[in-house]
Amino acid sequence: MAYGCIVNMATKNMSDDVIQLDQLLELDKVIHERVRLGIMSALSASKKLTFNDIKQVLKATDGNLGMHLRMLEKHEYIEVEKKFVGRKPQTSYQISEKGQKAFRHYICIIEKLVSELK
């Protein structure tokens, strides 16, 4: 898949087996962590998910998931909606436009790294 991103490519004077350092440095550190990558992937595929939906998909604890969701919210990669369903609070998340662009760029870099290893 092409996302139209631009990746700085290091010159090809190294062995084909060596991953280009320039590309690794471009990986978004906010997204790259395993749980946050899972959150971004799930939201990218599902548009909007509740806290419990994400927790079930990722098999994460409340505290761990909450910390990672706050980090993504802090960087404006996700949008949060809090409401009551009946008498119970429900928090839903969706990927923001900024988050969608960052995630696409991240995927593009990973695809380029993988294609260079083939």
State pLDDT tens for residues 12-26: 444 444 456 666 667
d(CA 49, CA 16): 41
Structural domain boundaries in the chain: 28-117
Per-residue pLDDT at 117: 75
- The CATH number assigned to the domain with range 28-117 reads 1.10.10.10
Per-residue pLDDT at 12: 44
CA-closest candidate to residue 96, choices 112, 72, 118: 72
Per-residue pLDDT at 82: 96
Per-residue pLDDT at 20: 61
Residues 108/3, Cβ–Cβ less than 8 Å: yes
Average pLDDT over residues 80-94: 96
Band (91; pLDDT cuts 50, 70, 90):
very high
| Structure confidence by residue, pLDDT tens digits, 41-84 | 999 999 899 999 999 999 999 999 999 999 999 999 999 999 99
Please give the structure tokens belonging to residue 86.
Answer: 């009946």
Mean pLDDT for the chain overall: 85
